[in-house]
Amino acid sequence: MSFEEYAALARQLSEQRRAGEQHAATEAARRRDLHAAVDYLQQRLTAQGHRLDQLGRAIGIDQPPPGPPSNAGSAPSAPGPGSAPSTAPGTGDGEDAGAAGAPGRPGGGAYPELPAGEARLALPTAVSPAGAGVPTQRAAAVDPTVELELARRMADEADRHGQQAEVLAQRPALLPTWSPLARAVAVYAGCGVAAGVLVLALVLASGVGLVDGFTLGAWICAGLPAVAFFGGYLVLGRWGRPAMVAGTPPRYLPLGFLICFLVVPMAYCAYLLLVRGLR
């Protein structure tokens, strides 16, 4: 071998070694990136699980208790020390018949003995659903990068649905699209209107002599407005509170007090004006 051929061979080996080192470095970096992506995805999934648990506790859904272990996939228990070994019918001895006891098999063996050369050729083949004796194909190799990308997309979708659930959980059951102030005004006004209807009933009862004037005045000035105010306060506390909210939502007590103690006397005044107008 000449010196030029030796130098060319050395350069080729050096290039191959550098290519191998570069490939190994690239593969190591790829593996590090995959491990980092897996760790980050695991942290995201763990955080999502904790957040879902918080949402479930906020809306009153507890975690279901773990069910009893299933025995469907358990292996059959071995016979006890005092149990007798199972025997197939017609064997006459205590040994397990197995395939040798299958009906239609002459002699004591289930399979005829083959010569040594044919026995090496008679290798078992996997049976596929398409046809008997056809070897099954190996499953396609799974690309971890593709699988991680699919898992990341599913995690993004879970985050999006979780954010939507949080937005819905921060809305109360009563008038969810209204602002807290508008909701409080509507609730207190509705309770005041209901109390105004009761005022009209009391006025009619006073007209027929069932209620005296002092009782009517007390209910109009203090009793029914207080009932309307506390009714609105309880309604806002029960159905106006979101499932997930930091602290106690405002109930606007001065505004509710003003509304309830104005609506009921105004309803009575409106009734008096209506009666005088009809006369």
Name the domain boundary from 13, 29, 57.
57
d(CA 175, CA 181): 11
d(CA 249, CA 238): 11
d(CA 184, CA 253): 9
Look up the domain containing 229 and give its range. 180-278
For residue 135, tell me if it sits in a domain: no
For residue 90, tell me if it sits in a domain: no
Name the domain boundary from 20, 38, 57.
57
d(CA 104, CA 43): 62
pLDDT in tens, 2-53: 878 878 888 888 898 888 899 999 999 989 998 998 999 899 889 988 888 8
- Mean pLDDT confidence for 265-279: 80
Going by the DSSP 8-state scheme, the letter that residue 145 receives in this structure is H
Q: Residue 172: how many CB atoms within 10 A of its CB?
A: 18
pLDDT in tens, 97-124: 444 444 444 444 444 454 444 444 444 4
Name the domain boundary from 57, 77, 104.
57
Q: What is the pTM of this model?
A: 0.53
Mean pLDDT lowest among 55-59, 64-68, 79-83, 131-135: 79-83
Q: What is residue 229's three-state secondary structure? A: helix
With a CB cutoff of 8 Å and minimum separation 6, the contacts of 136 are 126, 127, 128
Q: Does an H or E element contain 204, and which? A: helix 180-207
Q: Which position has the token pair 């009761």?
A: 198
